[in-house]
Structure 1
């Protein structure tokens, strides 16, 4: 089995609440590079890629870069049906950032009726034999 790419390994090493923020930073950096934005220039996360000036060709190139960096396959439908950075980050989080599940609560201990009866019988026997 291949190990995760360095970008994903770095994210997984972070506490869970910080992982999504790191993924968002990675995606935003890739969009800034594609759109030739300055590092401090605002990138609206809820605005369509295409309204921001992204072309289909640039989006395809960005998709390929993200797939390589994150070692995942990104659905073209996702990019074109809901073309926002916020949606892409949420989609990628589901693909590459496994959620830590809370430990399952232990099953409640329930005595079976026969077990309860045997216990009561045993206690009564001990009580009356003493």
Structure 2
């Protein structure tokens, strides 16, 4: 998937679903770099080096993610964000902030989005009664 297509796909999703979609995309790239099968689980909180990455492989994943996300990622960030979870936080808060900003400058996590959706549903039901 080219960068523009990946970003367009993420942008087309509701804000509450974008983080999960980005995680799937990043995990797919990490698994491909590590030659893992689809059924193998990638520990999101495991250090890159514990997962089997070398400095060369980290550079490879950086290049893959830059291509697929159409953005620059500092190699230092990958070394300073040593887990997939931390990398995802960096991507959503610093690199792809325009995709994860709810419009008021505050990013909404999945739990907050779910709570908001439930509240909206309850209010909608109340007003229809």
TM-score (norm 2): 0.72
Shift of 1:82: 2.4
Backbone CA RMSD of aligned residues: 1.6
Partner of 1:119: none
Q: Which runs of 5+ in 2 are unaligned?
A: 106-129
Partner of 1:100: 102
Query: Secondary structure at 1:40's aligned position in 2?
Result: coil
Q: Which runs of 5+ in 1 are unaligned?
A: 104-130
* Residue 10 (structure 2) pairs with residue 11 (structure 1): yes
- Aligned residues between the structures: 100
Partner of 1:38: 37
TM-score (norm 1): 0.71
Higher helix share: 2
CA distance in 1, matches of 2:102, 2:21: 17
CA distance in 2, matches of 1:98, 1:25: 16
